[in-house]
Amino acid sequence: MYLAPSILAADLADLKTAAEQCRQGGADFIHVDVMDGHFVPNLTIGVPVVQALAACSEVPLEVHLMVSNPERLLEEYLKAGASWLSVHWEASTHLDRLVGQIQQRGASAGVVLNPATPIEVLEDILPKLDFVLLMSVNPGFAGQAFLPYALEKARRLRSAIERRQLDVTIAMDGGIGIDNIRKVVASGVDLCVAGSAVFASEDPVATMRELRQRAESEPV
């Protein structure tokens, strides 16, 4: 199981400390939410912040573009230091082209699905992807409650990947914490994004370690 704390939930005035906490907590990635105030009703992290974060972090960046017309920004965020980069199916007119551009730059390419978007839209592009990010909340704001039907969606996607013998990572983002991470992993998810559960806790480093322990424990 990969763990990717979401930096949006950290103290944005002290991202260097948050990046160090991710290293100490054993995070595999730092999840970076980029919002444009158009595709989603919020405005967040831009290219200079990602550059600064990449420069001070030993943990690779997994950048999630929640933007309209992602082709306009793709190159900038790749140059800024994204190791994994994902775009929304709902925002991308030429998805195959975007995935190819990301991979040509040596980054892993992912497609994000909003909660109400069925996995079937990925049928043709799935073999080309490095990962799929399933939203388990409606994107735009941190701290939302987990949508339980995301678990069945993950199970169906895992089944499709295994049936076609593909090497595609399943990630999930939104409302994941200590109480439900085991269920998320059991549904077939490989990479868990956790924001408020980590950075709103008293000890983010200890919380990351506990999340991994819970995720890798035997189901009750």
Sequence spans of domains, the chain: 2-215
Q: What's the pTM value of the predicted model, to 2 decimals?
A: 0.95
Q: Tell me what pLDDT residue 218 has.
A: 67
Is 167 known to be catalytic?
A: no
Q: Which of 11, 173, 179, 190 is catalytic?
A: 173
Residues 11, 28, 33, 190: which is the catalytic one? 33
Class in CATH terms, 2-215:
alpha beta
Tell the residue number behind the tokens 């990572």, with chain if given.
169
Q: What is the pLDDT of residue 103?
A: 98
Question: Chain-centre distance of CA 170, in angstroms?
Answer: 10
Which residues is 131 bridged to in the sheet? 110, 169
> Is-contact 170 132, C-beta < 8 A?
yes
| Count of other CB atoms within 10 angstroms of residue 153 | 23
pLDDT by 10-residue block (mean), the chain, 220 residues: 96 96 98 92 90 96 96 95 97 94 97 97 98 93 86 98 98 96 98 96 98 83
Q: Is 173 a catalytic residue?
A: yes
The closest alpha carbon to 69, from 56, 88, 53, belongs to 88
Closest CA to 65 of 33, 43, 41: 33
Which sign, positive or negative, has the C-alpha torsion 6, 10, 14, 20?
negative
